[in-house]
Amino acid sequence: MRTYVCPECATSTPITPTVWRCDCGSPLDLSPLPPAPVVVDDAERSLWRYRAALAFDGPAIGWRSVTLGEGVTPLVSAETGGEAVEGGAADVRFKLDFLMPSLSYKDRGAAVLVTQAAAMGVERLVADSSGNAGVAIAAYAARAGIAAEVFVPAATSPKKVSQLRAFGASVRQIEGSRPDAAAAAVERVEATGAFYASHVYNPFFLEGTKTFAYEVWEQLGRQVPTTVVLPAGNGTLLLGAALGFAELVAAGAARQAPRLVAVQSALCDPVAAAWAGRDADLTGWTATVAEGIAIPTPPRLGQMVAAVRASGGVFLTATDEAILAARAELWSRGIDVEPTAAAVWAAWQAWPEARAATGPVIIALSGAGLKAA
Ligand SMILES: Cc1ncc(COP(=O)(O)O)c(C=O)c1O
Ligand SMILES: [Zn+2]
């Protein structure tokens, strides 16, 4: 039986619908699975092809009635016209992780988290989000027949709010910041006993995002890349990818996990600052175009720093100007992503050491352009 385990104080807690953090306040992890050879179900064309590695006890988890076919997103070369990408390594590839049912990588986490909620008999859930995670949770909640109430900051992109409404969620637009929306969600959870479908605290979300690593490994011919470049706000893709690659190494499917290059907005860089041992710049965190990674106090900050450090990677930051230029440069390649997603390409291209990188280098593109103005 798997349990929740606290990464801070090591306390184990049974998995129930009402537990959403450790008594010490920390987000939770799942107790690790014993290492086992990787099993891929070739007949399943979604992230559920890796379900043998997911955290469920027993076979009857009901995933087939929740899945929308998420995952198995394209991995395409960044070379144009046979020429290596300017200033980049020989083999740079874009992982088009915005090609998902709700148009962001968050569907990986939401599909697995909502499957777990449905398995526990949850009928009502509460979530908070800068936008995309809430949209993804709302989509899968609709699919699973679970009522969803989603708290977002008032400034969330109108298109993400209309997605939330379309999926039938009760939308609560909170006058205030991203942390204010989280506080309002927690208040509602505590007042009503609803299931808190938090992508930040609930480790089943990371179980879903870890399939990013399994997919990249499979798409590269069962090899891991040298480098993965990812956006980092609360770290759900970063920590999920780190978990997936660690499992692949533990399973004997890879010798060494890739170096993780995590990207923050220059206007909101608390994790990059902690990693570098300097003061954070939060002056413009409510104003950056990279709304998805504008998280001033991520609850998993320590885990994010540790994951990047253990991988031999780095934190980079991107200015708004560079992010918008990178978004336009991606358009010129036929790729349309939202600014948050373009930040990784901006940061990678501006990083002097990128020129010396040997591939494969994976650039995670996390959210679709139609979500933004
Ligand atoms: C498109 C996109 N990319 C990246 C992120 C960052 O994810 P996380 O905050 O889990 O690091 C988000 C979060 O909302 C997002 O919407
Ligand atoms: Zn604890």
Q: Which ligand lies nearest to the CA atom of residue 229 in the structure?
A: 1
Q: How far, in Å, is the centroid of ligand 1 from the Cα of 112? A: 17
pLDDT at 57 over 70: no
CA neighbor of 372 nearest in space, from 118, 98, 145, 179: 98
pLDDT at 83 over 90: no
| Helix axes 211-219 and 236-250, enclosed angle (nearest 10) | 60
pLDDT (tens digit per residue) in 148-173:
999 999 988 899 999 999 999 999 99
The CA distance from 202 to 20, in Å, is 6
pLDDT at 138 over 80: yes
List, in sequence order, every residue forming a beta bridge with 128; answer none if it has no partner.
151
Average pLDDT over residues 63-90: 80
CA distances from 206 to 67, 111, 190 (A): 16, 11, 23
Q: Whose CA is nearest to atom 12 of ligand 1?
A: 292
Q: How far, in Å, is the centroid of ligand 1 from the Cα of 1? A: 31
The CA distance from 36 to 50, in Å, is 13
Q: Which ligand lies nearest to the CA atom of residue 9 in the structure?
A: 2
CA neighbor of 368 nearest in space, from 94, 99, 95, 65: 99
CA neighbor of 311 nearest in space, from 265, 216, 242: 242
The CA distance from 26 to 6, in Å, is 7
Three-class SS of residue 147?
strand
Percent of the chain's residues with pLDDT above 90 = 87
pLDDT at 92 over 60: yes
Q: What global pTM score does this model have?
A: 0.96
Kindly give the number of the ligand 1 atom that is closest to the alpha carbon of 199: 10
Q: How far, in Å, is the centroid of ligand 2 from the Cα of 363? A: 34
Average pLDDT over residues 49-77: 88
pLDDT at 59 over 70: no
Greatest mean pLDDT among 61-70, 80-89, 102-111? 102-111
The set of protein residues with a Cβ atom below 6 angstroms from ligand 1 is 104, 130, 132-133, 231-238, 292-293, 295, 338, 340-341, 366-367
Lowest-pLDDT range of 84-93, 245-254, 313-322: 84-93
The CA distance from 8 to 88, in Å, is 38
pLDDT (tens digit per residue) in 202-227:
999 999 999 999 999 999 999 999 99
The band of 256, judged by pLDDT with boundaries at 50, 70 and 90, is very high
pLDDT at 139 over 90: yes
Three-class SS of residue 143?
helix
Burial class of residue 181, CB neighbours in 10 A (0-12, 13-18, 19+): buried
Query: Is residue 337 within 8 Å of 121, Cβ to Cβ?
Result: no
Average pLDDT over residues 1-10: 94
In eight-state DSSP terms, residue 17 is: T
Which residues are close to ligand 2, an ion, with C-beta < 5 A?
6, 8-9, 11, 22, 24, 26
Return the best residue to mutate from 366, 370, 371 for the ligand 1 pocket (most ligand atoms within 8 A of CB): 366
Percent of the chain's residues with pLDDT above 70 = 96
Q: How far, in Å, is the centroid of ligand 1 from the Cα of 346? A: 16
List, in sequence order, every residue forming a beta bridge with 364; answer none if it has no partner.
95
Kindly give the number of the ligand 1 atom that is closest to the alpha carbon of 132: 16
Q: Whose CA is nearest to atom 16 of ligand 1?
A: 292
Q: Which ligand lies nearest to the CA atom of residue 364 in the structure?
A: 1
Pairing of strands 29-30, 4-5: antiparallel
Predicted confidence at residue 27, as pLDDT, reads: 97
- 196 or 80, higher pLDDT: 196
Q: Which ligand lies nearest to the CA atom of residue 25 in the structure?
A: 2
Q: Whose CA is nearest to atom 10 of ligand 1?
A: 236
H helix or E strand, kind and range, residue 29 = strand 29-30
Predicted confidence at residue 89, as pLDDT, reads: 54
Q: How far, in Å, is the centroid of ligand 1 from the Cα of 348? A: 17
The band of 56, judged by pLDDT with boundaries at 50, 70 and 90, is confident
The CA distance from 197 to 129, in Å, is 10
Q: Supply the mean pLDDT for the chain.
A: 94
Lowest-pLDDT range of 57-61, 290-294, 364-368: 57-61
pLDDT (tens digit per residue) in 97-116:
999 999 999 999 999 999 99
Token pair listed for 247: 């499992």
Average pLDDT over residues 25-49: 94
Predicted confidence at residue 282, as pLDDT, reads: 85
Q: How far, in Å, is the centroid of ligand 2 from the Cα of 304? A: 17
Phi (first) and psi of residue 148, to 5 degrees: -120, 140
Predicted confidence at residue 90, as pLDDT, reads: 76
Kindly give the number of the ligand 1 atom that is closest to the alpha carbon of 338: 1
Q: Whose CA is nearest to atom 3 of ligand 1?
A: 366
Token pair listed for 176: 């205030």
Predicted confidence at residue 369, as pLDDT, reads: 97
Q: Whose CA is nearest to atom 7 of ligand 1?
A: 233
The CA distance from 203 to 5, in Å, is 10
The band of 334, judged by pLDDT with boundaries at 50, 70 and 90, is very high
The band of 234, judged by pLDDT with boundaries at 50, 70 and 90, is very high
The CA distance from 245 to 216, in Å, is 10
Compute the residue count for the chain.
373
DSSP 240-290: HHHHHHHHHHHTTS-SSPPEEEEEEETTB-HHHHHHHTS----TTTTT-S-
Burial class of residue 23, CB neighbours in 10 A (0-12, 13-18, 19+): exposed
